[in-house]
Amino acid sequence: MPPRISSELLVIASILNLSVFACVPVVSPQTTSKQAEATVHLKDDSDWWSITKGFEHGENVKSQERELPPGSFQIVGVKLGDELLADAQERLGPATAVERGDAGEWRRQICYVVAGESANTYLIFETGEIDRAFYLFNGAPWKGQDSCSATNLVPGKLATGSGLHIGESPAEIIAMLGKPSGQREGELVYLVEYRKRNSAEELKELRKKVPAMSDEEFAKSLAVADLTAIVVLKFAESKLNYIAVSKSETY
């Protein structure tokens, strides 16, 4: 895989008419066109569920060059994209953003809590320097949990666009997603990397970000992206109780 260069860096480079590799970013990763209404800054790593802060998948996890089933990067109609947090709030309502970490482990998160009969379920959206992720789980508490916004979503109907949901067995998941990249006790890991040709809709959105780039350079640089995706699934008593889906695209 080539070095990971974020799309934001390319945008800045084209506007300043500089080489991507010589460009010094003038916009921090925290800056986006849309922001959550309120932000809480925390200096801690209690967000045990986050894989953006660094995920140690172990030597037994082998990358696969293939795509995941359609809808794998979508949940409750929200897709993993540049405006992930804004799109989630438009769909589910306002939420307080929590920021943690710095540099490569910087992350911005918004959380929604779904009340259940015996335990609450949490749906979290997260952006990093170049990663976009969502999480669905019920589990141990963490600092910042009190910033979660209540929703009227029904726990039993929460699923990814590919149909992945809490309560499934390992066998059911393997039938849906295929052979995992790695497997540990109570955990399945999928690590996939492949070259992805951007759709007409994606190219249209990218074009808005780099209006100064020539058509020739645009087609050469941004028509195809290198996509890396990580899916981490954890089980309790052979039933799925934690879903993490992360995606990054570089050019």
**Mean pLDDT confidence for 34-39:** 64
Res 138 pLDDT > 60: yes
Asked if residue 137 has pLDDT above 80, the reply is: yes
Give pLDDT tens digits for 192-227: 999 988 888 888 888 888 899 998 888 888 888 899
Domain boundaries, the chain: 7-250
How far apart, in whole angstroms, are the C-alpha atoms of residue 166 and residue 150?
Answer: 19
Find the mean pLDDT for residues 158-187.
Answer: 95
Q: What is the pTM of this model?
A: 0.82
pLDDT confidence bin for 154, thresholds 50/70/90: confident
Question: For 127-147, what is the mean pLDDT?
Answer: 94
Nearest by Cα to 235 from 190, 181, 185: 185
Residue 6: predicted pLDDT:
46
Question: What is d(CA 104, CA 92) in angstroms, rounded to the nearest whole number?
Answer: 28
Burial classification of residue 171, based on how many CB atoms lie within 10 Å of its CB (0-12 exposed, 13-18 middle, 19 or more buried): exposed
pLDDT at 198: 82
What tens digit of pLDDT does each residue of 53-110 get? 877 777 789 999 999 999 999 999 999 998 999 999 999 999 999 999 988 889 999 9
pLDDT (0 to 100) of residue 47: 97
DSSP string, 40-59: EE------TT-STT-----T
- Residues 217-222: contacts with CB within 8 Å, 24+ apart? 217/14, 221/10, 221/251, 222/7, 222/10, 222/198, 222/251
Residue 239 — pLDDT band, cuts 50, 70, 90? very high
Average pLDDT of the chain, as a whole number: 84
Give me the pLDDT at residue 27, please. Answer: 30
Residue 122 is predicted with a pLDDT of: 95
Tell me what percent of the residues of the chain surpass a pLDDT of 70: 84
Closest CA to 78 of 90, 69, 68: 90
The token pair that represents 140 in the structure block = 């141990």
* pLDDT value at residue 13: 39
Is the distance from CB of 134 to CB of 123 less than 8 angstroms?
A: yes
The CA distance from 219 to 105, in Å, is 31
Residue ranges of alpha helices (H) inside the chain are: 7-16, 84-92, 170-177, 200-209, 215-222
Q: What is the C-alpha to C-alpha distance for residues 32 and 114, in angstroms, rounded to an integer? A: 27
Given this model, what pLDDT does residue 123 score?
A: 96
Q: What is the mean pLDDT of residues 124-142?
A: 95
